[in-house]
Structure 1
Amino acid sequence: MATIRKRGEGQYHVQIRKRGYPTQTKTFSKEADARRWATIIESEMERGVFVSRTEAEATLVAEVLQRYAVEVLPTKRSAQSDKSRIKTLTEAFGAYRLASLNSSQVAQFRDQRLKTVSPQSVIHEINLLNRVLKAATMEWGIALPGGLPTTQVRKPTKPRGRDRRVSREEIEKILNTTESPELKTIIVLAVETGMRRGELASLTWEDIDLKKQTAHLAKTKTDVPRTVPLSKVAVKTLQQFSKGREGQVFSLQAESISQAFERACEKHRANIADLRFHDLRHEATSRLFEKGLNVMEVAAITGHKTLDMLKRYTHLRAEDLAKKLG
């Protein structure tokens, strides 16, 4: 039962004791608020749905965001990009108590952010907030009475995937334009294998077996190691590039690969518009299907975890499909 005591001027102290639950106490400035809170808590205890709000009411969202940044983020490969997202989330929600965070606030954040950044960026931010709140509840023992507000909000519609195909002529033009043997090798491997830029940047010569025509990727975006088969073109390119080399295959880091590729495509060089390095992965995936490989075979090479994602990366030419129809 709830006990309400008046303490001093305008202070109402509530204490609730019930077998099977920790004692709950709270102080209010109005008696009506004290009685309302006591009624809610007692009702939840009677129905067996009570969750203690004490720690959630005492903890700022900024505190769990910072703890996640210190304890969890360093273990993630997305740490660099998530650091800026942590800052954005702290500015938006940092002053709130965990217990007061609700889906309406998250929805308002979504709508405001969509005015300045892409839907995919907003999805990343909401997903990160969801991971932080899950860590708080599952790992740090901070119960959220209303559950995770991030799961009660409609996420923005994902933008339509790019369907840019890269012609063989464009690839040849870029290869002939750049004077960097390293970038040339990276481009050929990207088109022949569908490797992500981060996977290419992390490759070591110990990962590569030119006799078996394979490259082992211990670290991937999906956290699932895989071994990628190398085409004869890929093997020949690596053989030409491998003379006297050991350790890391490439000196360029992931971001530098994109920058070097974009420079090679500039107007005063290859003069190829609207082309990104990641488009090479789309092109590689499409070519694998055009070679006759089935879905499971292509997924084993590219590392796509779902059919939906694989479909987003596949853009088959209508004229090539027409030839198969006869």
Structure 2
Amino acid sequence: MSISWDKPNKCWRYQFDRRIQGSRHRASRLLPRGWTQAQADAFDRQESARLYAIATGVQRQDPLIDDAVSLYLADKRHLKSYKATADHLNQIAPFYAGKAMSTLADVAKEVIRDEGARGVSPATIRNRLACLKAACRWGWKAHALTEADPTARMQLPAVRNERHVYVKREGMLKTARAATRHDVRIAIRVAFYTGMRLGELQRVRVHGNVLELEDTKNGDRRAIPAHPRIHTCLRYLPLTAPKITLQRGWQRAREATNIGDVHFHDLRHSAASEMANAGVDLYTVGTVLGHRDPRSTQRYSHLTAAKLSDAIGAIGKRVGQKLPHKAAAKGKKKAAPRAA
């Protein structure tokens, strides 16, 4: 029997051991945890037929997506996101198990269609496929499983989930004062004045008046000068309380002030909003936030409309001539006393 229960690993194991045309052909593979026996038997039929076809020369050897996933997970155990990545890959394993790398684009379409029909959010589907894409690209680049990039035709679903919720300084201070924990008050103030994530506040190192992160979400080192208003908060960093404790402290403070559906992460967006409204260019805003991809900063582009208006108004302008919207604003200021 090709399928047996692997008690130590708590999952099914597939084994292929046959003598074909005078040669011994063996293969063994642990199947994803959570698979039922029916799923394991279906894999047995499909994989045994494939291996038999390869052994008899009917089918050319084509690397499996499973091979790329196994190599990726073996090589990337150091990643902070390793557990989440392994879980994402396991969730869609029934779609790619036993499938060749050349079928990756079709596998992605099946995931999008079937997972979407089950009610899985587009963002979650995209994250799962992004992990699969990274694994297959790693198999190509690091292990030469294929001659060309197998993800070239792979399509990921579009996701539009940017939040545009911003908190003004007054709202931030009101919420910080409502917090019952001192470290939560520190977290709120520092997040607003630096744009740092909650997890980053637990890893940050302070050198003088500079906040440094050696290991960020995108893997780059980041240094942020501390705003004068948070100099007194620096001695309490990094925060040592569990993340869930800080999050619950934020939720209680938010409910006490009735500021609405504002997430702690929205303080990061608020920092970007404050900088963009003050005329800071988006490249600099992205640098402060640690964005590697400029597209991540484009969500704040609508906040720089006045600056873009200045740029457009400068076209063909004579030296010394005022920009249209500034001249209009000046006229309104002069007209105000007459109306009073």
**TM-score, normalised relative to structure 2:** 0.67
Q: How does 1:115-134 map to 2 (within 5 A)?
A: 115=117, 116-134=119-137
Q: Deviation digits for residues 246-281 of structure 1, max 9, x if unmatched?
A: xx6211345554343234323xx3333211111111
Tell whether 2:155 aligns with 1:159.
no
Instruction: Report the equivalent of 2:214.
Output: 218
Kindly indicate whether structure 1 or structure 2 has the higher relative contact order, using CA contacts under 8 Å at least 6 residues apart. Answer: 1
CA separation of 1:147 and 1:226: change in aligned 2, threshold 3 A: closer
Cα distance in 2 for partners of 1:221, 1:283 equals 19
Q: Does the 8 Å contact 1:130/1:151 carry over to 2?
A: no
**TM-score, normalised relative to structure 1:** 0.69
Task: Give the AA of the match of 1:251.
Answer: T
Cα distance in 2 for partners of 1:237, 1:315 equals 32
Tell whether 2:242 aligns with 1:235.
no
CA separation of 1:100 and 1:303: change in aligned 2, threshold 3 A: closer
Instruction: Report the equivalent of 1:285.
Output: 272
- 5+ residue gaps, structure 1: 1-10, 14-24, 29-33, 38-52, 243-247
Cα distance in 2 for partners of 1:80, 1:174 equals 34
- 5+ residue gaps, structure 2: 1-19, 23-53, 310-324, 330-340
Instruction: Report the equivalent of 1:251.
Output: 240
CA separation of 1:290 and 1:158: change in aligned 2, threshold 3 A: same
Instruction: Report the equivalent of 1:7.
Output: none
Q: Which moved more, 1:289-298 or 1:107-116?
A: 289-298
Q: Deviation digits for residues 29-78 of structure 1, max 9, x if unmatched?
A: xxxxx5xx6xxxxxxxxxxxxxxx5262xx5x445424422331x22222
CA separation of 1:107 and 1:196: change in aligned 2, threshold 3 A: same
The offset of 1:110, in angstroms, is 1.1
Q: Deviation digits for residues 171-200 of structure 1, max 9, x if unmatched?
A: 223212211111111111110011122221
Cα distance in 2 for partners of 1:288, 1:277 equals 18
- For residue 73 of structure 2, the aligned residue among 69, 82, 85 is 69
Instruction: Report the equivalent of 2:92.
Output: 89
Q: Does the 8 Å contact 2:173/2:189 carry over to 1?
A: no
Instruction: Report the equivalent of 1:307.
Output: 294
Cα distance in 2 for partners of 1:272, 1:192 equals 19
Cα distance in 1 for partners of 2:274, 2:101 equals 51
Runs of 4+, deviation exceeding 6 Å? 317-322
Instruction: Report the equivalent of 1:209.
Output: 207
The offset of 1:285, in angstroms, is 0.6
Instruction: Report the equivalent of 1:112.
Output: 114
Instruction: Report the equivalent of 2:139.
Output: 136
CA separation of 1:294 and 1:100: change in aligned 2, threshold 3 A: closer
The offset of 1:140, in angstroms, is 2.6
Query: Could you say what the CA RMSD is over the residues aligned between the two structures, in angstroms?
Result: 3.2
SS in 2 for 1:76: coil
The offset of 1:231, in angstroms, is 0.7
CA separation of 1:160 and 1:184: change in aligned 2, threshold 3 A: same
Kindly, what percent of the aligned residue pairs are identical? 21
Tell whether 2:184 aligns with 1:183.
yes
The offset of 1:27, in angstroms, is 1.5
Q: Does the 8 Å contact 2:66/2:96 carry over to 1?
A: yes
The offset of 1:89, in angstroms, is 2.4
